[in-house]
Structure 1
Amino acid sequence: MTQFLSLRHLRLKTRMVLILGIIAILQTGVLGHFTIRYLDNVLDEQIGQQAMRVAQSIASSPDVIRAVTEKNTTFLQPLSLRLAKSTEARFVVFGDKDGIRLAHPSPARIGKSMADDDGDTNEPALVHGKAYVSKAKGSIGWSMRGKAPIFEQDGKTIIGIVSVGYMLDTVDTIVGHHRVSMLVAITIAFLFSVVMAILFANHFKKAIFNLEPEQIGRLFRERNATLETVREGIVAINHDGRITTFNHAAIKTLKLPDDQYYIGRHIQDVLPDSGMLDVLENGEPQFDQEVWLHDHNLIANRIPLLQDGVVTGVVSSFRLKNELDMVSRKLTRIQQYAESLRSQSHEYNNKLHTIAGLIQIDAKDEALAVIGQETSSHQAFIQHLMNVTSDSILAGCLLGKYNRAKELGLELYIDEDSQMSALPKQLPREQLVSILGNLIDNALEATLAHHGKGGTVSLSLSDFGKELIFEVNDQGAGLTADEADKIFTRGYTTKSTQGHGIGLDLVRNLVDHLGGMITVEPAETDGSRFTVYLPKAFRKPATEHEKED
């Protein structure tokens, strides 16, 4: 185990060479061992069968039958030597029906029992009359012997036995040659495995960007941790359209069952309305697409995965549009506050410079008149705001827009009959401020562009009945019927300068989110009138954090 663990410190190529080399040695070694054993057994069997066939052939010779019957050792002894030479056997031994030798390569053993050499009683041949093969160690070494009974001419009476033996050193020599060949094959297989391991390791390393397995494992864990910590939903599919990544944020965003396993399933089975298959087919990325998926309005990005110029998959990240809108609204509110402060600062700096100049030229009465005029005008607007609404956030927004209008040389007029004291507590003030702020800014810009300084933007507020009604009238150029249909489309603008076409789209989305309605129509004199209707019975939707809790 320690040696195995130590391999982890080696590079991938070195590990692959060692592992494949060891596997090659083990495979060829085991295969060679069984091959040698099989060859040894086959050769033994072949030699034994050959010895038995030779013994049966000799036992059927009439001369041998007659000589054994007569126990003619003088005839059988030289015959056994000639037969051994002609059949390439190590020995040919004759015995009578009692197993006493009648001929033997060693004359001194003639007359002795054949059982003295190998302990074989020769019972199968002498008792049962059957030819058989035996392997034994005799006086001249290990041999494979074929033994056959010798019958009288009638073919029934057993009168003796003949034993033909082949030494096994020949088998060992043949097996030895094959063993050397096997060792050469093992060496060649090992070298071939090393070369293939190097080539395969180079190809494999290139495919995994020259990373080590431990690095890939660490990156995989980091990737999973990253996917689960981001708040955006992330889904990835392969070239077959099957899901390979589906993080927890995607499940929560789409309100899918979290007790199911989505990896490996086809994207159409999980998200049938997804456009990821289109990206997989055409390879064109999609950025900041507003889509509806599982009855959710999302902002989605879909990026194709390319390998050697071929699309191998698609990754999609998405987030609820209202979350992004909330961020946008907060930024808009901050921007409005900043503009309000800048407008007030700029306006009051101008007034202070004027007052300072009047004091320097000793026009004290005029200076006091300017101060009184500014104070009375500003105080009158503030007093009017306090009569219209008691909501400090709404009042602060309108005061800021009043100062902004003053800076532009325009007037923001609030209808004297306006009343907005019944604002529901659950109505998000930042959304209301964003709606009014964008409409007023749009009206100021339109009035200044068409009417010039001295123009008026009028505002009417009403909380009568079941709805909150806000009317903004400008003195702009007005809108054609075609422009009125497109004015709330994101990116569409009637202005020639860049950076427009977003505010009214945001207003429409906010009004829709609050369950209200917005209309645009020509004003009574000139310009346009934007009217917003918001229900008082608005119920604030739960946030994602509240849903999680």
Structure 2
Amino acid sequence: MRHKWSIARRLFVAHLLFVLALTAIVGTATFLDARDHAYAEAGRRMAGVATAIADNPLVLDAAATPDPTSTLQPYALNVMRDAGADFITIMAPDRTRWTHPRNEEIGRPYIGSIDAALAGNVYTEVTAGTLGPSVRTIAPVKDAAGNVKALVSAGVTVRTVDVAVSGRLPAVLAIAFALLVGGSVASWLLGRYLRRVTRGWGPEQLAQLFAYYESVLHSVREGVILIDSKGKVVMYNDQAAELLGLAPRETDGDPSDPPSLSELPLASSLQTLFESGRLAHDEIHLTGSRILVVNQGPALGPPTQGRQRDEVFGTVATIRDRTEIESLGSELETMRTLSAALRSQTHEHANRLHTLVSLMELGRTEDALDFATKDLELSQKLTDELVDSVEEPVLSALVMGKAAEAHERGVELVLEAKGSTELAGLAIQDLVTILGNLLDNAIDAAAEAPSPKRVELALHSTGESLEITVQDTGSGVDPRSVDDVFSYGFSTKAPGKYGRGIGLALVRQAVQRLGGTLTITNPGGALFRVVLPSGTKEQF
């Protein structure tokens, strides 16, 4: 069965065990150090006592008498009592004891090492004697010539040293307890933090959840991009990379150093939106080749108690491609224009037919024939001009529809074509977008202007490029707004049924996609000039 402990609990238990082990190790090391220090301190104290006794002339004089014990035993007991030693043994060089805390041990051989003292050195050791294990120092008693005449051993039993060490044990235990409590509190605080940020999930659950999220992220048809509060792009899926023109995300890259928004080749409007972090709902943004619908919202942390608001980790943006939809919308608008033109012509032809019938009923046959002939010649002339000038049937139909619409609104549409307009290599959808929107704007501007209400369309083809010029007799474009008229959402007109500010933005996008140029001048009205190189046809 899979372990269901959370990361916080696992870390707390692991850290607690580590603190317990560390406390045991530190406590033991501190105790051993205190014991060694106590042994060393006892050795230094006994060395002082033994050396002082060895330097006393009384000991050297008594060693030369036949009964040293009678003089030295009372002296040794007094010094042992005053110095806090457990025993002071004065002996002959052959180990025979002259003094001892126990009278029955006097005259018996000393138990311990005396070789260093016989060589004239002061020596300290821990060994077992008649009183048990002890820390003792042996010092030589020398005459004026430096000969060793006696030995002095002063010491304390290990039990006495351990009692001194046990006096330090509360401090050692206090240090160990402080380590344990401090480590436990740190583990608890860290565990609480991890429990909050991981929502109590274990590593297996997080790994599974990450696998699910990664699969969902790359399986959805929408682009998804995650941006932190510092403007770093934490993650984006393959669809977002395709829509935004980014390099595919490296799954084995360093997640701790994500790229910033300024490092990515984003369109300026998208970069501004992502950097602002503001809410966005179905906003249209244009890139070099696409029309994107963007939604953006904050990435909020899980709800927690004690906070007035959720923690904001950054923003999440979803991106949908609307390029094909807009292309179909442009074609639909063209069909709507043609349909309106046909309805207008049907209505106009009905009026003309009624006029002819009325003239015939009045017996004015010649007038009726003259009226019908002139109307037929005018309609045929316009049709012949369009067909001869524009060889592409879709563009020809578009221009005919716009001409009928212009005529209905009292605007004269004049067409001029030079060279072949077979549009070699140019995508007809892009040309419909460019020409249709330019004519719509020109007709709107001319219809609102005083007479003459006129729109001039010129198509010039050189084989290497196609030049489209649309000029109207309207009020022109404000020179201060030249850089803004191609921005999405910018319009000087009142809001219409289908919205404003997208037509010229689509024109600029199509021109950029085809590698052309677009300029605006104001020679008595707005003049839009588009130059498209041939051989740049794109497939949709």
| TM-score normalised by the chain length of structure 2 | 0.66
8 Å contact from structure 2 (residues 477, 522) kept in 1: no
- 2:502 is the counterpart of 1:502: yes
Match of 1:538 among 531, 534, 537: 534
SS in structure 1 opposite 2:29?
Answer: helix
Deviation at 1:211, TM superposition (A): 6.4
- 2:65 is the counterpart of 1:66: no
Identify the residue that residue 366 of structure 1 maps to in structure 2: none
Superposed, 1:69-84 pairs within 5 Å as: 69-72=64-67, 73-84=69-80
- 2:120 is the counterpart of 1:123: no
Deviation at 1:430, TM superposition (A): 1.3
Unaligned runs of 5+ in 2: 302-307, 352-371
Q: Point out which structure has higher relative CO (alpha carbons under 8 A, 6+ apart).
A: 2
Per-residue CA shift, 1:24-80, capped at 9, x if unaligned? 333332222222112111211221222222222222333332332224134444444
- 2:162 is the counterpart of 1:172: yes
C-alpha distance in structure 2 between counterparts of 1:164 and 1:473, whole Å: 122
Deviation at 1:381, TM superposition (A): 7.4
Per-residue CA shift, 1:424-465, capped at 9, x if unaligned? 43212111111221133334545666699xx99775645478
C-alpha distance in structure 1 between counterparts of 2:426 and 2:267, whole Å: 34
C-alpha distance in structure 2 between counterparts of 1:445 and 1:269, whole Å: 40
Superposed, 1:369-388 pairs within 5 Å as: 386-388=387-389
Match of 1:87 among 79, 83, 89: 83
Identify the residue that residue 360 of structure 1 maps to in structure 2: none
- 2:327 is the counterpart of 1:330: yes
Per-residue CA shift, 1:204-263, capped at 9, x if unaligned? 655x48565747777878888899999979796876x9x67597949994899x9x9998
- 2:147 is the counterpart of 1:146: no
8 Å contact from structure 2 (residues 427, 538) kept in 1: no
Per-residue CA shift, 1:262-319, capped at 9, x if unaligned? 986997996899999x989x979698899999xxxx999999999999x999989999
SS in structure 1 opposite 2:64?
Answer: helix
Deviation at 1:12, TM superposition (A): 4.4
Superposed, 1:70-469 pairs within 5 Å as: 70-72=65-67, 73-114=69-110, 117-118=111-112, 120=113, 122-126=114-118, 128-152=119-143, 154=144, 156-202=146-192, 208=197, 210=199, 214=203, 249=241, 253=245, 330-340=327-337, 343=340, 386-398=387-399, 401=402, 418=417, 421-446=420-445, 461-463=459-461, 468-469=466-467
C-alpha distance in structure 2 between counterparts of 1:168 and 1:434, whole Å: 104
Q: Could you say if the C-alpha distance between residues 90 and 272 of structure 1 is closer, same or farther in structure 2, counting changes exceeding 3 Å?
A: same
C-alpha distance in structure 2 between counterparts of 1:89 and 1:312, whole Å: 73
C-alpha distance in structure 2 between counterparts of 1:108 and 1:465, whole Å: 134
8 Å contact from structure 1 (residues 71, 102) kept in 2: no
- C-alpha RMSD of the superposition: 6.0
What amino acid is aligned across from residue 136 of structure 2 in structure 1?
R
Deviation at 1:324, TM superposition (A): 8.1
Deviation at 1:468, TM superposition (A): 3.8
What amino acid is aligned across from residue 474 of structure 2 in structure 1?
G
Q: Would you say how many aligned residue pairs link Structure 1 and Structure 2?
A: 492
Q: Could you say if the C-alpha distance between residues 279 and 405 of structure 1 is closer, same or farther in structure 2, counting changes exceeding 3 Å?
A: closer
8 Å contact from structure 1 (residues 145, 164) kept in 2: yes
Deviation at 1:158, TM superposition (A): 2.0
SS in structure 2 opposite 1:70?
Answer: coil
Deviation at 1:172, TM superposition (A): 1.5
Q: Could you say if the C-alpha distance between residues 479 and 492 of structure 1 is closer, same or farther in structure 2, counting changes exceeding 3 Å?
A: farther
Q: Could you say if the C-alpha distance between residues 480 and 516 of structure 1 is closer, same or farther in structure 2, counting changes exceeding 3 Å?
A: closer
What amino acid is aligned across from residue 108 of structure 2 in structure 1?
K
Q: Could you say if the C-alpha distance between residues 47 and 520 of structure 1 is closer, same or farther in structure 2, counting changes exceeding 3 Å?
A: closer
Match of 2:13 among 18, 41, 62: 18
Q: Could you say if the C-alpha distance between residues 151 and 275 of structure 1 is closer, same or farther in structure 2, counting changes exceeding 3 Å?
A: farther
| TM-score normalised by the chain length of structure 1 | 0.65
Q: Could you say if the C-alpha distance between residues 495 and 145 of structure 1 is closer, same or farther in structure 2, counting changes exceeding 3 Å?
A: closer
C-alpha distance in structure 1 between counterparts of 2:267 and 2:435, whole Å: 36
Q: Could you say if the C-alpha distance between residues 129 and 348 of structure 1 is closer, same or farther in structure 2, counting changes exceeding 3 Å?
A: same
Deviation at 1:143, TM superposition (A): 0.8
Unaligned runs of 5+ in 1: 355-371
- 2:44 is the counterpart of 1:49: yes
Per-residue CA shift, 1:119-162, capped at 9, x if unaligned? x2x12222x2222212111122101112122234x352322212
Deviation at 1:542, TM superposition (A): 8.6
Q: Could you say if the C-alpha distance between residues 274 and 263 of structure 1 is closer, same or farther in structure 2, counting changes exceeding 3 Å?
A: farther
What amino acid is aligned across from residue 70 of structure 1 in structure 2?
T
- 2:29 is the counterpart of 1:34: yes
Q: Once structures 1 and 2 are overlaid, which stretch shifts more, 284-293 or 430-439? A: 284-293
8 Å contact from structure 1 (residues 458, 472) kept in 2: yes
Identify the residue that residue 516 of structure 2 maps to in structure 1: 515
SS in structure 1 opposite 2:98?
Answer: strand
What amino acid is aligned across from residue 398 of structure 2 in structure 1?
C
Identify the residue that residue 369 of structure 1 maps to in structure 2: none
C-alpha distance in structure 2 between counterparts of 1:328 and 1:520, whole Å: 31
SS in structure 2 opposite 1:178?
Answer: helix
C-alpha distance in structure 2 between counterparts of 1:324 and 1:227, whole Å: 17
